[in-house]
Structure 1
Amino acid sequence: MSRFTMSARRAARGSVAIGVVCGVAGVLTACGAKVPEKTVEEAVSDGIADKVGLRPKEVDCPGGMPLEVGGEADCTLTVVGDREIGLTVRIASIDGAKPKFEYDVDLMKLLEK
């Protein structure tokens, strides 16, 4: 299930924070556990689809992210008209192997030409 949250501070600057909870098995690397790229991309895409009823054309999060609270990934969201929007995905909390993702989407960029 996904959950949509919006803080007044983020709303004022035209951003939306969306939290998504999903099951993830961490992939062990020399640097520790990682959330695979595909898992992050699917969680972001599913969260947006659940909230607005439309799935983005593509979400790209190269390299995945560290499986730790505060772990981040820089992603690109492709929407209608092949417009690309940058977003940062973070792990807000972890319950067992289930990270809660939150991310900022700049709504003002969605409205630009």
Structure 2
Amino acid sequence: MTMNDIVPRPRFEPTYNFGHILILIGWLAGGIGGGFGVYLTLRTEMSQLRSELALISLRMMAVEKGQDKLAAGFDRMTEILTSDARQNVRLDSVETRLGAIEHRGLTGPR
């Protein structure tokens, strides 16, 4: 007797029994349930992201309106400063001419 005669060989038997079918159904149900759970989770996440995006959009519009107001304020401030600078130049000119007139009046004939 040889060693091959003593050790039984495993045989492949292509039969299905009730346990195999239950395991297959369990795997399918788990896969479908997991996929559905992932779908619901992603749908909820997308809904939350859409609402956050809408809030961000509203905030951006408010910031843009504020920037427009600031730009208008800066434009007005520029106009005021330009006008002030022109008035300073005119005042300096008047002071120079007045000084010249006073100087002529003090040193001129009496």
Choose between structure 1 and 2: higher helix proportion: 2
- Structure possessing the higher relative contact order (Cα contacts under 8 Å, 6 or more residues apart): 1
TM band (smaller chain) = under 0.3
Choose between structure 1 and 2: higher strand proportion: 1
Q: TM-score, normalised by structure 1?
A: 0.18
Q: Give the greater-gyration-radius structure (CA).
A: 2
